[in-house]
Amino acid sequence: MAKHQTTSFNFRSSCSILVFLSIFSSIPLLYWSYSIGYGYCHDQVENNKEMLSMEPIKLLKFPKAWNQLVFSSKQRRTPQTKLLKIGLFVRKWPEKNQAGGMERHALTLYLALAKRGHDLHIFTTSSSASIPSTMSNLHFHISRPIGSGYLNQVVAWKQFLEENATKAFDVIHSESVGLRLTKSSTYLNNVAVSWHGIAYETIHSDIIQELVRNPLDSSSQQVISDGKMMKVVEEVKFFQYYAHHVATSDHVGDVLKRIYMIPEERVHIILNGVDEEIFKPDVSKGNDFLLKLGLNQDRSRSSIILGLSGRLVKDKGHPLMFEALQQLFLENSTFKETVIVLIAGNGPWGDRYKELGPNVMVLGPLERAQLAEFYNAIDIFVHPTLRAQGLDQVPLEAFLTGKPVMATKLASFTGSIIVNEDMGYTFSPTVSELKRVLYEVWEGGKKNLEKKGGFARERGLKMFTATKMVAAYERLFLCISGNNEEKQQKNEDYCVYQPHQEMD
Ligand SMILES: *[C@@H]1O[C@H](CO)[C@@H](O)[C@H](O)[C@H]1NC(C)=O
Ligand SMILES: *[C@@H]1O[C@H](CO)[C@@H](O)[C@H](O)[C@H]1NC(C)=O
């Protein structure tokens, strides 16, 4: 496991060991260990102080994920809470059960904001399914897509202005470049954009994909092109036109501030959240799911059950996973007999997986309720994706179900999700590394995974519930609402976080 990841649960004990060492060691060593120990422990004390501090926090300057804050549920319900008119620009509105990351994010967020009574206007392209608007405060403004499904900016903006003329919008929100601002003249101070993948992140994905590419395969083309860097430069230029940026991972928050050079008070980290009512621990659901697959309790109790889900395509890392499993099965018959792999989803790699034998079960795409059962049935969720863009939601679903995750060592995962070894594993995307970690998981056994699952659930509840995400966005929108300075000043209160008022 990666040594660089600090383990918060061991942190305090390493802290005391260092202090202990510094007392009993000889003089030069004493000084050395004391200074390290002091720095180490001092940081820890500082951290705790900050978390426990009752000082008001200026939210727009808060450098960490807003998910770490507790937003009072009481305060939100009071009649004084302002209801906002919000315009959302999103390329596609998802059909109920099929939604990629960005659309799922929009769906979860906006259905919840609608329930809280805000007046919502969604500017999006038509989809084949009719949009079920059962809520009178959720309005759709549909236009025909252009190019490969992009929102027609001219038409959508015209629709926006027409709606704005009836009553001015308080906030404008864009999911990635749903709303494309390209000139400084379009700068509006009540715009927020949530980034689900920026060009800088694709550099890491491209490096990995080029390394795992099989050059003998005539259909595979070189991934890295000269144009990529210019794409980052282009983004650095036009991102400036958006007043507020929501980074969906800690890593992207850092990149936006440092590399994209956006002032800190305009970059806010709000990590994705998933529905905690759907994804939660339920042992009997998991057992039923296994029984339906023909796996009786003896069989499942004596096996380590690995779970994978999503589209079974190359850039989600399935060739790597396939190769690792194939080699492990050949090398160690005990491993083969005591590991069960459940794969939810479909795609070209589905049929390949079936070749590996009866203990690799390809289940096809699952509805969300079934997916919740699936997570409950597994011991660990495996996420070998090679795509570094945005913050994937499947590991969050596994966390909330109380399952540990093993995932590719991408900055969004190591920085925001699997932040230490207590709740899972990360690996470099090579067959040998993946094999090594799969062995480690297997040898560690079920009890070990259960324990990690407990920590995963704890972190999930604190950071990744839909409720937390929605509360954070609502607060941001309240804080930045208003299309002129005078109106924005009235919202100052919402921009200040008062710990003692919110924590009840
Ligand atoms: C929306 O309407 C308000 C009030 O008339 C106006 O001040 C504002 O500039 C309009 N917004 C845009 C983007 O044109
Ligand atoms: C499989 O691996 C385990 C643990 O490393 C080892 O004890 C066992 O001997 C191996 N079995 C075979 C058949 O190689």
| Lowest-pLDDT range of 91-105, 126-140, 260-274 | 126-140
| pLDDT for the residue 9 | 40
Instruction: Indicate which residue's Cα is closest to atom 6 of ligand 1.
Output: 168
Percent of the chain at pLDDT above 90? Answer: 71
- Could you identify the atom of ligand 2 that is nearest to the CA of residue 439? 5
Q: Retrieve residue 133's tokens.
A: 């608007």
Burial class (CB in 10 A: 0-12, 13-18, 19+), 447: exposed
Ligand 1 neighbours, Cβ below 6 Å, are 161, 164, 168, 188, 483
Best residue for ligand 2 mutational test, from 332, 438, 440, 443 (most atoms within 8 Å of Cβ): 332
Residue nearest to atom 11 of ligand 2 (CA): 332
Are 123 and 173 contacting, i.e. CB atoms less than 8 angstroms apart? Answer: no
Distance 278 CA to ligand 2 centre (A): 39
Lowest mean pLDDT among 107-121, 203-217, 406-420, 463-477: 203-217
What is the tally of helices (H) and strands (E) in the chain? 21, 15
Q: Is it the case that residue 325 has pLDDT exceeding 90?
A: yes
pLDDT band at 501 (very low <50, low <70, confident <90, very high): confident
Closest ligand, as measured to the CA of 339: 2
pLDDT digits (tens, 9 = 90+) for 127-144: 655 556 678 899 999 999
Averaged over 164-171, what is the pLDDT? 96
State pLDDT tens for residues 296-324.
Answer: 999 999 999 999 999 999 999 999 999 99
Query: Quick one: pLDDT band at residue 185, thresholds 50, 70, 90?
Result: confident
42: phi then psi, degrees, rounded to nearest 5: -60, -45
**How many angstroms separate the alpha carbon of residue 169 from the centre of ligand 1?**
7
DSSP secondary structure string for all residues of 60-101: GG--SBGGGSPPPHHHHHSTTSPP-EEEEEEEEPPBTTB--H
Rounded CA gap, 217 and 73, in Å? 55
pLDDT recorded at residue 222? 77
pLDDT of residue 25: 42
pLDDT reading at 34 higher than 50: no
Residues at CB less than 6 angstroms from ligand 2: 332-335, 443
pLDDT score for 165: 97
Averaged pLDDT for residues 356-377: 96
Nearest ligand for residue 157 CA:
1
Look at residue 499 in the predicted model and tell me its pLDDT: 83
**Closest alpha carbon to 309 in 385, 421, 240:** 385
Ligand of minimum distance to the alpha carbon of 158: 1
Specify the pairing of strand 496-497 against strand 57-58: antiparallel
* Ligand nearest to the backbone CA of 187: 1
483 alpha carbon to ligand 1 midpoint, in Å? 7
Q: Can you say how many angstroms the Cα of residue 122 is from the centroid of all Cα atoms in its chain?
A: 23
Closest CA to 473 of 154, 162, 88: 88
Atom of ligand 2 nearest to the CA of 331: 14
CA distance 56 to 76: 18
Q: By percentage, how much of the chain surpasses pLDDT 70?
A: 85
Distance 445 CA to ligand 2 centre (A): 14
Query: For the chain, what is the mean pLDDT?
Result: 86
What are the tens digits of pLDDT across the range 210-229?
898 877 776 777 777 778 88
pLDDT on residue 98: 66
